[in-house]
Structure formats: C-alpha cells, structure tokens
Amino acid sequence: MQAIGTLERAIGRLEQDVAQYISAAASPPPSIDVPGAQAALRSLDELIEDLKGRTDG
C-alpha cells in the first residue's frame, strides 16, 4: 500500500504540472502531446484504483 500511495502522489504532481502547463501556454510546443499526457495520467489513475481494489479485497 505504501508504494501505491507514493505512486498516487507522483501522479497527482504530474497532473498538476500538466494543468499548469496548459493554463500557462497559449499553445504548447508540438513536441508535447497534451491530450496524450492527460490520457496517460487517467490510465494511471485507473490502474491505481485497480491495484487498490486488489489489495483491499
């Protein structure tokens, strides 16, 4: 469970970074796939929830 908590905090920080980057930049550089980054973070959130379900059950 400690590893899952650490992963949650790291993903939370990444989500904040992405949100700040989006709000600060009028248009992100083409090298950054913002929708892809957001989708990846959502996928990681889902994975964490799945892992929590396995450790709680």
- The 10s digit of each residue's pLDDT in 15-56 is 888 788 777 766 666 777 878 888 888 898 898 888 888 876
pLDDT-derived band at 57 (thresholds 50, 70, 90) equals low
SS3 37: helix
Task: Report the distance separating Cα 19 and Cα 40, nearest Å.
Answer: 14
- Where do the domains of the chain lie? 2-56
pLDDT of residue 2: 82
- Residue that the structure tokens 């980054």 belong to: 37
